[in-house]
Structure 1
Amino acid sequence: MTKRALITGITGQDGSYLAEHLLAEGYEVWGVIRGQANPHRSRIDRLLSEVKLVEGDLLDQSSLVKAVDLAQPDEVYNLAAISYVPLSWQQSELTGGVTGLGVLRMLEAIRMVSDFGGSRTPTGRQIRFYQASSSEMFGKVAETPQHERTIFHPRSPYGVAKTYGHFITKNYRESFGMFGVSGILFNHESPRRGTEFITRKITLAAARISLGQQAKLPLGNMDAKRDWGFAGDYVEAMRLMLQHEQPQDYVIGTGVMHSVKDVLTIAFDAVGLNWHDYVYLDPQLVRPAEVDTLCANAEKAEAELGWKPSVQFRELIEMMVEADLRRASRIRRDEDEPDQW
């Protein structure tokens, strides 16, 4: 029997990769979008012949109930969120409502559509729920590397909201027997990453500067270290979590840290430039409460799910620079060439 999956945030980086992955696995894929004017819908344009879209909003309980009822999914992947940390400081209440309480609304929608206790579809199949948790929940870390039992100390409204979503998923699992899991994903990037995020900001700037389209790049804390991997690898881990016999939470990451300066070095080397000549510190871009060091211990995911990352850090950054060079060159030539990334 063909499995059905419902994805919130399908037009985001992770949502688009996950949709492609599930389609390749033979799933029927449904995506929740916030209206037809979604600015990121172009990420899934090439999939529209295979993906069914339904309108819904994590701020609106009734729309989520309708989406779940229409799709009748076997699996729900909740990827939608306000996920840009600096924006969460500017719109903290909205971040709490979408990124935190939105998880509760989706869990309730699943309960309301399926039977109250066991979360099963009318056909008797249990709806399995995946929550996109974040390494930002660790924040001011208690230990390095971080694993599933490391305590949380979030340092931003985004991290706090993600922590709520993580624990409410665990609560529904323990209280109602729902198959709910959280993937604590460390930073994962790709050519589809939004241009506001640090890695993509750097790779796009390197491409534009090399083509004479940009002069300088302002950045905040360049000493911050992260565990960066490829988003295409990480969506596979999401699916594997929902295939496991028992619902459990997993840390997903590479186990290797790199600094922002490492990203700069690889990105600007790829275009034959020295980043020191173009990048400067802008104090306004420094976070109010910085998260300095995040590094994953993903041994549990490797042992129980058989998951390991396949794309290495240098390969990832160079992939992103190459994609941004193609985009920037296309803009310079004023061509309307379809984006293959």
Structure 2
Amino acid sequence: MPTVLITGVTGQDGTILAERLVAEGADVHGLVRLREELSVGVPGVELHLGDLTGRDAVGGLVRELAPDEVYSLGGISSVGFSWEHPVLTGAVSGLGAVTVFEAAYAAQQATGRDVRVVQASSAEIFGEPDRTPQDESTSVRPINPYGAAKAYAHQMAAVYRSRGLFVASCILYNHESPLRPEAFVTRKITSGAARIAAAGAGVLSLGNLDARRDWGWAPDYVDAMVRAARHDTASDYVVATGRTHSVADFVEAAFRRAGIEDWRSHVQVDPAFVRPVDAYEMVGNASKARDELGWEATVTFEELVARMVDHDVALLGTPS
């Protein structure tokens, strides 16, 4: 079985991916930034302390491990945070990904053994898209610091691919699971619905309810990345469901699952949660991933919301 290195291994996607690869029998290693993260990893994963901005450290780790597969998932995960910290976002999510590519390329050159890299790109690279739905040929023109950093990494993946490194870039649309922290609006909604239902009262403060997104189930999207890593050739792949829902749709579905029909009386729009710039609608065309990787989304929007609400209800110790 392969030796695998995952950056961002303690995040949602990293955790799901690590659990899958360990179950397959792979020798899995993860890069973590904080020392306290060394004790919270997935069983069976060997964790290594390091920072994506440390080129020498990352390069040394890749040389030492000689991985067959590298999943570049690490970086800033919040668009909102990126507005507050644009320089850090560029350094970690943009240059940090290229640090991984360069380390893999150097290891491949030194050993003569192929290293397969998957870059977790984002629909945010499209910004205000020039077509709907978006596909791999949609213009890259980000409108926030998060998208700009991801766009740099995405385009550098193509540069390294032209140099002979296997780098597949998976352009991931919004994908969720109960592993999302409450800083993400989807988990904020489902946990809020569970708490309000349990208490019989309460108000949830949110930002733009009209923004529309293409939401999928995170384990499905991790599956796409594994398929991309093991495909015959490296390429770019949009990973999406092809269907959109508004934030209001998500709220309505979550509150209904929690047993509340009149969700509007429990939700208020707070300008503090409205982004400076926010694309109205993002929806992906994943036909290339379907045709070349045999991938498709398996969980519907309604089931995704239901699973997250049920998880948050269970955390409160109340029946679903």
TM-score (normalizing by structure 1): 0.90
Q: Secondary structure at the match of 1:223?
A: coil
Structure 1 counterpart of 2:169: 182
1:264 and 2:251 are equivalent in the alignment = yes
Q: Secondary structure at the match of 1:38?
A: helix
- Counting matched residue pairs gives 317
Q: Secondary structure at the match of 1:133?
A: strand
Structure 1 counterpart of 2:209: 222
Q: What does 1:111-190 align with in structure 2 at a 5 Å threshold?
A: 111-115=105-109, 122=111, 124-174=112-162, 176-190=163-177
* Mean CA deviation greater in 104-113 or 307-316: 104-113
Deviation at 1:23, TM superposition (A): 2.1
CA distance in 2, matches of 1:88, 1:99: 10
| CA displacement, residues 76-112 of structure 1 (integer Å, 9 cap, x when unaligned) | 0000110100000001100000000101111122233
Query: Match for 1:222: what amino acid?
Result: L
1:21 and 2:20 are equivalent in the alignment = yes
Structure 2 counterpart of 1:70: 64
CA distance in 2, matches of 1:327, 1:101: 38
2:91 corresponds to which of 89, 94, 97: 97
Q: Secondary structure at the match of 2:37?
A: coil
What percentage of residue pairs aligned between the two structures are identical?
Answer: 45
Q: Secondary structure at the match of 1:204?
A: helix
Q: Secondary structure at the match of 2:233?
A: coil
CA distance in 1, matches of 2:315, 2:35: 25
Whether contact under 8 Å (1:216, 1:279) holds in the other structure is yes
Structure 2 counterpart of 1:119: none
Structure 1 counterpart of 2:35: 36
Query: Match for 1:162: what amino acid?
Result: K
Query: Match for 1:13: what amino acid?
Result: Q
Structure 1 counterpart of 2:74: 80
Whether contact under 8 Å (2:105, 2:115) holds in the other structure is no
CA distance in 2, matches of 1:169, 1:217: 40
Q: Secondary structure at the match of 2:121?
A: strand
Whether contact under 8 Å (1:21, 1:236) holds in the other structure is no
Deviation at 1:311, TM superposition (A): 0.9
Deviation at 1:271, TM superposition (A): 1.4
Whether contact under 8 Å (1:21, 1:235) holds in the other structure is no
Query: Match for 1:265: what amino acid?
Result: E
CA distance in 1, matches of 2:10, 2:220: 17
CA distance in 2, matches of 1:57, 1:230: 28
Q: Secondary structure at the match of 1:158?
A: helix
1:243 corresponds to which of 202, 220, 230: 230
Query: Match for 1:7: what amino acid?
Result: I
Whether contact under 8 Å (1:82, 1:98) holds in the other structure is yes
Query: Match for 1:158: what amino acid?
Result: Y
Q: What does 1:186-335 align with in structure 2 at a 5 Å threshold?
A: 186-212=173-199, 215-273=202-260, 274-329=262-317
CA distance in 1, matches of 2:11, 2:213: 21
| CA displacement, residues 296-335 of structure 1 (integer Å, 9 cap, x when unaligned) | 10001001110011111111101000111122338xxxxx
CA distance in 2, matches of 1:30, 1:230: 24
CA distance in 2, matches of 1:269, 1:127: 47
| Runs of 5+ consecutive residues of structure 2 not aligned to the other structure | none
Deviation at 1:214, TM superposition (A): 7.1
| CA displacement, residues 238-284 of structure 1 (integer Å, 9 cap, x when unaligned) | 01111111111100010010110111111000111121011011112
CA RMSD of superposed structures (Å): 1.5
| CA displacement, residues 3-55 of structure 1 (integer Å, 9 cap, x when unaligned) | 1110000000000011112223332111111132139x64x3xx32x111111
CA distance in 1, matches of 2:175, 2:161: 26
CA distance in 1, matches of 2:154, 2:220: 21
CA distance in 2, matches of 1:190, 1:183: 18
Deviation at 1:125, TM superposition (A): 2.6
Q: Secondary structure at the match of 2:291?
A: helix
Whether contact under 8 Å (1:55, 1:67) holds in the other structure is no
CA distance in 2, matches of 1:276, 1:313: 20
Whether contact under 8 Å (1:205, 1:214) holds in the other structure is no
| Runs of 5+ consecutive residues of structure 1 not aligned to the other structure | 117-121, 331-341
CA distance in 2, matches of 1:20, 1:276: 38
CA distance in 1, matches of 2:140, 2:63: 34
CA distance in 2, matches of 1:166, 1:83: 15
